[in-house]
Structure 1
Amino acid sequence: MLPCLQIAATFLVIILICSDGNIIPYDSDMDIFVLAADEQKIRRLATERVNITKGQFNLVTRPGPYCTLNPGERMNCKGQKVPSMQDTCSFCGPLARMFMDYGNYIDMFLINIELHTDSSGVPIQLGYVIEEEARLGLLELPILLPQRRCRMMGLDVPCPHHPGVLLGMLYNTQWLKPYYLCNPETGKWENS
C-alpha cells in the first residue's frame, strides 16, 4: 500500500453510478485524485517496471509529462519506450497507476486544492485545479460533505455526498452514457 501518503478521502473522486453504486460499466478502472504536493512521494514508492509482479500490488508512474493522446512519452511493463498504449503500464495521462493484474487498475491524477471562505471565515467552496486542466474549478462544499459510505469494487469507502453532481462537473452531464456502443449487427464499436 502507500504508507504516509496523504490521500484525503474528501477529495478522492470515486466514480460511481448512482443507481447501483458500482463503477461505470464501460470503464475498466477507478480514478482518484491525490494531492499534487505528494507527487514525489508517489514516484519514490513506484515499482521499477522490470520488477512488476503479477498477483501483487504494483505502482508505476508515467515516465514523462501529462498527455491525453499520442504522442506522449510512454513505457511498457517491460521498461521499453513505446509510441502508444500497448499494455497496462504504457499510459501517459495519470501520474500513476496501481494494479495487481493487467487490465484492472486505479489511476492517480494530481490535484491542487484551496479552501474558499466567506467574509467571516466559514468554508463555503473548494477550489481545485486538476493537472490536465488550466482552469480553476469550484465546488460547493455540500456536494462533497457530509460524506456518505458506498460500495466500490467490493469495499465500503467514503464517497462524495452528491456523486452525480460531482461527476457532471468533472466530466460532463452525460457521464453515464458510454462514448462507444457495440453495433450488434456489425460487431464493431461505434460512436454513441
Structure 2
Amino acid sequence: MKNTQQLKTSFLFLFIFIYSFQLISAQNPTLFTVKGHVSGYGNIGVPHDVRIYVNGILNDAVITGNGNFSIITSDSNIKVELKQGTDCLNGVNVGDIIRMQNHIIGKTQLDEPNKLLAGDVNHDLKLSILDIIMIRSLILGKNDIFVNNRSWSFVDADFPINTLNWNQVNHFIQVNTSDPKVIEFKAIKLGDVDLNAHAD
C-alpha cells in the first residue's frame, strides 16, 4: 500500500514537472532570426516605404538604406513577402506603353525578364492589352494605383529567371527559420518596362 502511494506521488511530481516545463517553454519560445536583403535592378537602389509581411501579417522589421533586414520569429517555417504601394507613376510614361504594344504585336520583343515582370501590372502572369489599359489610366490620372495596391513587385532573386519562365518566379520566399541562409529579393517597378525608375 505504501509503495502504491509512493508511486502515485512520483507520477504526480513527474506530471507537474512536465506541465511546468511545457508552460515555461510556451512562455519563452525559441526565437529565430531570418536575415534578408532586397535590391533593385541595374543602378536602381532600394525603394522606400517597403513593408515586410510574415505569413500574411505585417511585420515590424525595417529595411535599411542598403536593403538589409532581419525578422525575429518563433515559427519554424515562414512565408515572407514585401509590398510597396506608393509613387506608382515613378518611371512610367508613354514610352512604356509603346514598348508593350510592340511586344504584344510581335514587332519588338521585350528582351529581359525584368521588363516582362514590370509590364505585368495586373499580375495575371502575362502581358496583354489589359496591362496597357491600366498603365494608360495611371498616366491620365484616372487611377493612382495598380492591382492590390502595388507599385513595386518583389520576387525571389535566387530564381533562375529568363524571358521564357519569368511568370513562374515566386513573389514570396518560403523560409525554414533554422537555415542561416540570407534570403534575397529583387525589386521590380511596375509599369516601367524601359527600366528607368528611381528608388527614391
TM-score (norm 2): 0.28
Identify the structure with the greater helix proportion.
Answer: 2
The TM-score normalised by the length of structure 1 is 0.29
Greater CA radius of gyration, 1 or 2? Answer: 2
Q: Which has the larger strand fraction? A: 1
